[in-house]
Amino acid sequence: MSTTVAALIDRARAAFEALATTAEPVSDEFQYLADLETVWGARLKAVSDARGTEPAPIGAEAALEALEAEAAAITDPHRAIDWMSTLPQVALAALGEAA
């Protein structure tokens, strides 16, 4: 059975949440982090709601695996903040969506 768009979005959201946890020590960026979580969380949810049961595009699962690995390797809070805006955009592109 093929992987669905919703399953890959769930994985992207989990990787995003891991980045948010890594970024938490940067307290002066609290509002920016909250805004990123609100905006990207809503965008990913909208795609999941609209296309969740569809099979994921070819190559999307491999792209998500690479994103997950990159997110897991990030230990610097400032780099995590950078990736909190990068990861959702790359995940959406892998799914054939506009950011």
Tens-level pLDDT at each residue, the chain (99 residues) = 589 999 999 999 999 999 999 999 998 999 999 999 999 999 999 999 999 999 999 999 999 999 999 999 999 999 999 999 999 999 999 999 987
Q: Answer whether 0.85 is exceeded by the pTM.
A: yes
**What pLDDT score was predicted for residue 98?**
87
- The answer to the question of residue 44 being in a domain is yes
Q: By three-state DSSP, how is residue 4 classified? A: strand
* CA distances, 46 to each of 2, 72, 82 (Å): 21, 25, 23
Residue 28 neighbours by CB distance under 10 Å:
6
Domain that holds residue 73: 5-94
- CB-based contacts of 43: which residues, under 8 Å, 6+ apart? 88, 92, 99
- On whether residue 99 sits in a domain, the answer given is no
Going from the C-alpha of 29 to that of each of 21, 81, 82, 98, the distances in angstroms are 13, 9, 11, 26
